[in-house]
Amino acid sequence: MKGLELSKKYFEAYGREMLAQFPALEKEYAAGLVGRGSECFGFDDEISKDHDYGPSFCIWLKRDVYEQFGQKVQEAYEQMPAEFLGVPGRVTEETGRGRVGVLCLEDFYYGLLGTCQVPETKLEWFRLQDENLSTATNGAVFEDPCGAFSRMRDGFLSYYPEDVRVKKIVACLARMARAGQYNYMRAMRRDERVAAGLFLHEFIRESMRLVYLLNRRYAPFDKWIHRGMKSLPSCSEIGDMILLFYQVEKAEDKVLIIEAICNIIVQELNAQGLSNLEDNFLQNHLLSVTEKIEDETLRNMQFLEG
């Protein structure tokens, strides 16, 4: 059973009853499973069960409520049966502490994003990182009679303002062109294989990150960024093409894959009205895409910022 399904069943079996012990919290909590951990993304498997897996969920309380009731609710949470549906109790590693149980709502978001407020300006949005936003908006909310958690979650799920998205696209294009289309083959010709490997890795990572931006989705961190591409509606075939890098040995063949990926990106840029050029060299699209940014501060940033 997937961890998210297990979590919801566990909450329905014991969580509501446990919370009923605290009538004052009837409309003061949210419950669900969101945050760090493969189960929150729905990517957990048999390998995932070796740590931080088991019947569990989160209860989020606003700070004033948490300070008054948090410890007592946590004690009640710990009294619920550890084993559930034949699944042993959660074994938590030191680095996995604080992911489930009773949590302060504001501290939860601050710990993931460095802020507990939905950004009000484009620059504030720009400073946030995809992988952190992905972690803060994954999983599921089972109940939220308070509404505070969902309002904040919905705010982050609203996605980057368009100027911010486009500026981050520009940065990905610049890094892809520099690493994959310019430096990779030059490094191979000099027999600088370590440098070439780094350039190829950068091209691959930025390609995946760009595909998420083109789909208006937050890219998860490296462990899941490739797997998550399968569900994206546009350019998801790039995920399959990336696998080819690990199936061919000749640098010339890898260059062909690089150019094929860039060709798909160019087509999508044109489809979204971000560029009207057909040039396969991504660097030549930077000015065209940058011109779509209305915010002067973002538009005047260096291409690689983002």
**Which of 183, 205, 204 minimizes the C-alpha distance to 194?**
183
Q: Please report, as a single letter, which amino acid is at residue 78.
A: E
- Tell me how far apart the alpha carbons of residues 165 and 273 are, in angstroms, rounded to a whole number: 14
Phi, psi at 33, each rounded to 5° = -145, 110
Q: Please report, as a single letter, which amino acid is at residue 133.
A: L
214 within 8 A of 234, measured Cβ to Cβ: yes
| Run of H or E including 241 | helix 237-244
- pLDDT, position 251: 97
- Tell me how far apart the alpha carbons of residues 113 and 261 are, in angstroms, rounded to a whole number: 31
- Tell me how far apart the alpha carbons of residues 82 and 71 are, in angstroms, rounded to a whole number: 19
222 within 8 A of 204, measured Cβ to Cβ: no
Q: In what order do the strands lie in the sheet with 101-104?
A: 101-104, 58-61, 29-33, 140-143
- pLDDT, position 194: 98
- Tell me how far apart the alpha carbons of residues 28 and 175 are, in angstroms, rounded to a whole number: 46
- DSSP category for residue 55: S
Place of tokens 């000749």: 250
Q: What is the mean pLDDT of each run of 10 residues along the chain (306 residues)?
A: 92 96 96 93 76 86 97 96 85 68 97 96 98 97 97 97 98 98 97 98 98 98 94 96 96 98 98 96 98 98 96
- pLDDT, position 48: 67
- pLDDT, position 112: 96
- Tell me how far apart the alpha carbons of residues 102 and 76 are, in angstroms, rounded to a whole number: 10
Kindly write down the DSSP assignment for every residue of 103-137, as one continuous string. EEHHHHHHHHHS-SS---SHHHHHHS-HHHHHHHT
184 within 8 A of 261, measured Cβ to Cβ: no
- pLDDT, position 93: 61
Phi, psi at 162, each rounded to 5° = -60, -40
